[in-house]
Amino acid sequence: MSSTTTASHVDDFCAAVRPLLASDQLQIDESSALEVGGLAPKAIVVPSSIEQIQRVLSEAVIHVVSVIPIGGGTHLGVGNVPSSYDVALSLARMHRIIAHEPADLTVTVEPGLRIDDLQRALAVHGQFLPLDPACEAASTIGGVLALNAYGPRRHAFGTARDWLIGTRVVHADGSLSKSGGRVVKNVTGYDMHKLYVGSLGTLGVLVEATLKVAPLPDSESTLAIGSRSAAHGAELILAAHDAGLALHAAELLSPPATHAVLGQSSWCALMRVAGGAGAVARSLREIDHAATVAGAAIETLESSTAWDAWSTTFRPRGLALRISVMPSRVGETMQVLDRRLTGGSAQLSATVTTGLIRASLDASSDGQALAVINAASEVAAQFDGSMVIDAAPAAVKRGIDVFGPTRSDFAIMKRLKDEFDPKRILSPGRFVGRL
C-alpha cells in the first residue's frame, strides 16, 4: 500500500516545525539511507531534546504525517512494511548517559546512546548490560529496546523487559509520560515500560530509559564442542544447564553456522562459561568430561572473537527468521530446519534453553525467499511453535505479516494502539497485525 498522506501535508508539517529546530535538525530530501521496507522518508528530523520531540509529534499529529523513530538505523528492516512513512525521527543526537550509579547497579540513558558506548562506560566500573543482540557499531539502546533485540546471553539473563525499570516516552499527541523509576523493585502504577519494549515505536518515542546492570564476571571462557547431530548438541547443552553449570550463553549451531563462526563444519555447542573463578573452573572441567565421554571434539576459543563472529553471522539481513519452540524440542526442530531450508545451507543458531532458533540465509530470488519462509513456517507449526521474520526482501514482506497470524489477544493490542495513536502516525503498519 502506498503512502496515505499527500506531499502538501508533509510540506505543512515541515513549515510548522522549522521554527522549532536549528537549520541542521531538519533535512528535506528523500534519504535512501533511512529506507524502511523500501520506502524513503520525505524529511528527516534530528531533535536534540525531549521538548523538541514533543513539539514535532504535536505537529505531526496535526498534519497527520507518519513518523518512524530511528536509532542507529542498523535494523530498519525489522517489522512489516509501513503503510506510510513521511518523516524519519532520528534520535542520534540524544546519546547521553544521564546517570550511572555503580553502587545501585542502575543506569539512565538517552535512546540514541550506542550500545557499544554504554558497555564501555559500564565496564570502567566492572559492570555491563547483559543484552548482547547481533548489533553493529551504530546500534543504539533505543533501537535494542524498540525491537526487544537480544542475543545468546538470553540464556542466563532474559531480555530487555527483565532489565528495563523505567522509561520516559513521548506519545503521538506530544505528551510525555513516565513509568517505573530508578529503583530496582517497584510496583507503583502499571508497568507501561513492558509495553514499549519490542513495540517498534508504535506507541510512542522512547526518550529516556533506566536499566539495571550486572557485575562483569570475574572469569570467562568460551568452548566449542563439535557434535554428531543437532540432537546431540542440544543434549550436551541441556545436560550442562541441568547440572547448574556457570553458563552465560549456550548456542547450538548448524554446520553452516559453525563454518561462519569458527571455520569448521559440524553441529556445534558454543558455550560461554562465566562467573566466579571456582565455579568456572569446575564448569569447564565438567563440560570437558562430558565431551570426552561423548567422543566430541572440544576447543577453547577467545571469547570476544567467537561471539563477535556469531553476532556478524546473525545480524538480521538478507533473509533472517526467528522460530520459537519449547526448549525440549529444539534438537529435532533444528534437524528438520537444517534439512528443509535450502537443503542444508541455512545458518541456524538456537538458544536451546529458551527454545529460540535463528535462521540466516541468502535467498537468490524473491520466489526462493518466499519458499524458505513457507517451509520454515511449516516446521515451526509442526513443532507447535511460532515464527517471526526479522529480515526479508521488501517485495516478499509486502505480501505477508512478518509476525505471523495474530492471536486471541490481538483485539487488546489493537485497542491499545487506538488509545495511544488513534491517527496512526507512529510507525504505522509496521507492527503485529499491521498495527
CB of 162 to other proteins, least distance (A): 6
Nearer Cβ to other proteins (24/242): 242
Q: Which residue from 237, 280, 230 is spatially nearest to 255, judged by alpha carbons?
A: 230
Nearer Cβ to other proteins (75/171): 171
Nearer Cβ to other proteins (53/325): 325
Nearer Cβ to other proteins (43/172): 172
Inter-residue contact 159 to 148 (CB < 8 Å): yes
Q: Please name every residue paired with 128 in a beta bridge, in sequence order, or none if there are none.
A: 214
Which residues, in sequence order, are CB contacts of 339 under 8 Å at separation 6+? Answer: none
CB of 22 to other proteins, least distance (A): 27
Nearer Cβ to other proteins (190/292): 190
CB of 208 to other proteins, least distance (A): 13
Start-to-end CA distance of the chain, whole Å, equals 14
CB of 185 to other proteins, least distance (A): 4
C-alpha cell at 100: 550511572
CB of 375 to other proteins, least distance (A): 19
Nearer Cβ to other proteins (92/144): 144
CB of 224 to other proteins, least distance (A): 22
Classify strands 356-361 and 176-180 as parallel, antiparallel or unpaired.
Answer: unpaired
Report d(CA 124, CA 274) in Å as an integer.
19
